[in-house]
Amino acid sequence: MRHRLRDPVTGLLFVLPVLVLFLIFRIFPSLAAAGMSLTNWNIGGEWDFIGADNYARLLDDAIFWTSLRVTLVYVAVYVPLTLIVSLGTALLLNQVVFLRGLFRGMLFLPYVTSFVLAGVIWRWIYEFDGLINGILGKAGLGPVAFLEQSSLVLPALAVVSAWKGFGYSMLILLAGLKAIPGSYLEAARVDGASAWQRFHRITLPLLKPALFFVLVIETISAFQTFDTVYVMTGGGPARATYTLIYGIYDHGFRSFDFGYAATWGMVLFALVLIVSLIQRRFLDRGNT
């Protein structure tokens, strides 16, 4: 019995510091937020237990439903865009032999750039006298109000976030491509398979674990987008970029209605969990 317990106990001791930090900074705050959502907690620390009143208030809140729609639309635009860019750049880097490290570092550089700095730069790019409208003006096209039109502002923010964050997913997918045995692709090439057939029949199925991981983390990242919205639009115009996470900030740190903000947070947690489970159900299939 002592020998059987020695390895698990030793392993537990090694992970104990990280486990303690995870409990302190992840699990306990989540449980505290769940409890806070059942109160009317205010900035003075005073609170009363009000049960499900905050959730009932949420259902009648038109701003919440607008925020939910905005968040879902943003996720639907950002996630496919980031996956396409990440996979495309990973496939290109996988073919590069000369100066591969340099190109990899250049493409990864936006990921380590501050979101605030990226937001400021891209706000200038999108402005009427910015880079994009300057190019459009030389082409004889009128200026486009990217950040002032409700129909354009979410795609514009999704482009900024995709540019900022695709580098990490690119490296994950590149590692997945490197793990594919070259003999498989070579055998398919000898058998006469085209580039598309090799990608569709060999590369894509074997890359499925990495793709599933990237899809999950990018979906979670999309639901938690805040910095870009805060810096570039502030939730506008006309709440066209008022995401759930921005609503949590608005209610918690502007109105100091912490109980109601925690309710928004629990809804966001449930939404991310449900979407992740759906992704696992339809995309994982037990093979990752």
Whether pLDDT at 114 is above 90: no
Domain housing 128: 54-284
43 domain residue, yes or no = no
275 domain residue, yes or no = yes
Q: What is the CATH number of the domain that holds 235?
A: 1.10.3720.10
CA pair distance 71, 244, nearest whole angstrom: 6
5 domain residue, yes or no = no
Taking alpha carbons only, the member of 163, 181, 175 closest to residue 84 is 163
Q: What is the mean pLDDT of the chain?
A: 88
Whether pLDDT at 7 is above 80: no
10 domain residue, yes or no = no
Structure confidence at residue 134 (pLDDT): 87
34 domain residue, yes or no = no
Structure confidence at residue 158 (pLDDT): 93
In which band, very low, low, confident or very high, does the pLDDT at 62 lie, cut at 50, 70 and 90?
very high
39 domain residue, yes or no = no
Q: 132-180: per-residue pLDDT in tens?
A: 888 888 887 778 888 888 889 999 999 999 999 899 999 999 999 998 8
CA pair distance 156, 198, nearest whole angstrom: 34
Radius of gyration, alpha carbons of the chain: 23
CA pair distance 53, 40, nearest whole angstrom: 9
Whether pLDDT at 3 is above 70: no
Q: Roughly how many angstroms between the first and final C-alpha of the chain, as a whole number?
A: 34
Please report, to the nearest 10 degrees, the dihedral formed by the alpha carbons of residues 34, 263, 147, 75 taken in order: 60
236: left (phi over 0), alpha (psi -120 to 50) or beta: beta
149 domain residue, yes or no = yes
What mean pLDDT comes out for the span 89-96? Answer: 89
Structure confidence at residue 288 (pLDDT): 46
Residue 27: count of CB within 10 angstroms of its CB: 11
What mean pLDDT comes out for the span 86-107? Answer: 86
203 domain residue, yes or no = yes
How many domains, in total, are found in the chain?
1
Structure confidence at residue 102 (pLDDT): 86
Whether pLDDT at 270 is above 90: yes
